[in-house]
Structure 1
């Protein structure tokens, strides 16, 4: 069995969640002993598509004509496309129609979460599928004191540190992040993620150019710096309005960082406020939660320990085993 893992414009997507998800698939399949390729010109027995562009559509059609099963990974939804880049809201209805066509034409769908499964089903897409986490490398994302000190020294930061990771978008809650930072000037707020400034609305560009004195936007950074930041952070504050799972959240959980998230449906099944995270719905609630975590380190540590257990349930080894089973059953006619 040989699987084609397909993603268009890999250089463009490598700094996004889809790019990280593809890397996770590659590593998960290696650990599961599944042969794969990224080159559509090679021979393969099954296609696993991650993007929704014209190249993916051509591949889907040619593969089906050849009798090769096609799996579509539902990383993109109408809901998470909105409030992203310039003109994304205008394009969102067109994207929704495109998604219905793409996902509806596949042989099988993989959903990153139960929430995404419910969302796509609401598009009247009947294609069979199952939920498989994007996963996290729990061996790589372990708290690392050496890298923690290096991060603090490199950026000349004094704790407490409040961290976020992701593209700085309106959908990701950048406005609330700034509002919370203004109310907590004694803390340092850091947001890692590629800026793509030319594609951002003016209001977001202004935030990136003129943040408050206690807010840093260093942009996209290598994984070693990211691990150092997660190890040093007192709170991982992720106020995103819409996610299909949240790989950045998984990475924070894996490093035992106390996590504060917006109370949105995607977390309903697996993130529990007071157990492995805290949740909020407004700037005042986020401010109170951060103060609670900073002022009560034993409570923050408990959340971090429980968060690590949550991450372990979504290890790449477990993801690889699930993907292997799906491939085998699809090829064998069992799905």
Structure 2
């Protein structure tokens, strides 16, 4: 049996996708591959493979021990994806970015969640043959596509009208996530209920904290900010919603989009190149606020258009199911253990 040790602090900060991806992988290994892999977490003893999910300094120091076995690094972010997330002084930012890349270079192999980032990592000096693309995934048990009766019951539970069109978004409240456009679209459509689940996972270090704090303290009447909520509540909000809307300017592979697909909810996104590499054609896309406005109106008034993207959500979810990804991770870990 192959011993894999996971080094991670991803689940210590609530409301971020890195933690969700980490927990999904742990569950996958424990439920589907327990007969092949012995998994430990934050264990400093001997291991065949050590998989680093976060880049904590103490984890970096551990890479110098011969007990680590094959060192695998999970690339959930790059310097360019941090921009618009954290507000750091110039010098601190420079040091942090240099440390991030140094951490990645300490690995024997890297896993990326979006193939578009492979050339970017190569540009930092990592050989391409040391990088593997394995997408994120979501459990349909955690994020089920509930029937109509259950959806109606959830609206009643959370006190939303049955006939109201509901737009849901989730993620950290920060500049990079495009929260401003989410708020502006809510202002353009007072007849629609908007909900954004998430908050300031990194407190006042969040980019645009003062600006967004004012919005959260006094949002439009049709916009609800429930704050950072449990994953089970995210699943509830998705099932009572008519549309998932994420106007991010930059992502790797947002777990929130996979969660929406898993719940059978149509998805509206900014038309970023990174999405073309993984879910092209499976979501409604627009370049800006005017485009989001047009897309929302069409989704609300064109039944065929809406049902098309509802069906695409269901079919796309199958591509990123635990069953499919279990085979990929089983092969990857087995091959890495041989090296």
TM-score (norm 1): 0.91
Return the alpha-carbon distance in structure 2 between the equivalents of residues 268 and 90 of structure 1: 34
Residues paired across the two proteins, number: 328
Show the counterpart of 2:170.
165
Return the alpha-carbon distance in structure 2 between the equivalents of residues 247 and 177 of structure 1: 18
| Per-residue CA distance 1:174-207 (angstroms, 9 max, x = gap) | 1111111111111011001133453342111111
Query: CA RMSD, aligned part only?
Result: 2.0
- 1:247–1:175 Cα change, 3 Å: same
- 1:39–1:93 Cα change, 3 Å: closer
Return the alpha-carbon distance in structure 2 between the equivalents of residues 88 and 187 of structure 1: 39
Determine whether 1:188 maps to 2:193: yes
- 1:285–1:129 Cα change, 3 Å: same
Shift of 1:150: 3.9
Show the counterpart of 1:21.
21
- 1:193–1:89 Cα change, 3 Å: farther
- 1:36–1:153 Cα change, 3 Å: same
Of 252, 277, 293, 1:269 maps to 277
Shift of 1:266: 1.4
Of 49, 58, 78, 1:55 maps to 58
2:277 aligns to what SS in structure 1? coil
Return the alpha-carbon distance in structure 1 between the equivalents of residues 166 and 68 of structure 2: 53
Determine whether 1:279 maps to 2:281: no
| Per-residue CA distance 1:245-274 (angstroms, 9 max, x = gap) | 01100111111111000111210123234x
Show the counterpart of 1:140.
142
| Per-residue CA distance 1:284-322 (angstroms, 9 max, x = gap) | 000110111111233212212122222211112222222
| Per-residue CA distance 1:68-95 (angstroms, 9 max, x = gap) | 1100000121122111133277644333
1:257 aligns to what SS in structure 2? coil
Show the counterpart of 2:71.
70
Shift of 1:330: 1.4
Return the alpha-carbon distance in structure 1 between the equivalents of residues 6 and 45 of structure 2: 11
Return the alpha-carbon distance in structure 1 between the equivalents of residues 61 and 153 of structure 2: 46
Return the alpha-carbon distance in structure 2 between the equivalents of residues 53 and 223 of structure 1: 24
Show the counterpart of 2:214.
206
Return the alpha-carbon distance in structure 2 between the equivalents of residues 211 and 175 of structure 1: 11
Return the alpha-carbon distance in structure 2 between the equivalents of residues 225 and 148 of structure 1: 13
Show the counterpart of 1:93.
94
Return the alpha-carbon distance in structure 1 between the equivalents of residues 77 and 102 of structure 2: 13
Return the alpha-carbon distance in structure 2 between the equivalents of residues 253 and 204 of structure 1: 28
Determine whether 1:44 maps to 2:47: yes
Q: Is the contact made by 2:8 and 2:42 (CA closer than 8 Å) also made in structure 1? A: no
1:61 aligns to what SS in structure 2? coil
2:126 aligns to what SS in structure 1? coil
Shift of 1:126: 2.1
What are the ranges of 5 or more consecutive residues in structure 1 without an aligned counterpart? none
Return the alpha-carbon distance in structure 2 between the equivalents of residues 136 and 9 of structure 1: 16
TM-score (norm 2): 0.90
Shift of 1:125: 2.0
What are the ranges of 5 or more consecutive residues in structure 2 without an aligned counterpart? none
Shift of 1:238: 0.5
Show the counterpart of 1:242.
250
Q: Is the contact made by 1:253 and 1:307 (CA closer than 8 Å) also made in structure 2? A: yes
| Per-residue CA distance 1:194-243 (angstroms, 9 max, x = gap) | 33453342111111111111111101222332222111211111001111
Return the alpha-carbon distance in structure 1 between the equivalents of residues 334 and 142 of structure 2: 28
Q: Is the contact made by 2:11 and 2:20 (CA closer than 8 Å) also made in structure 1? A: no
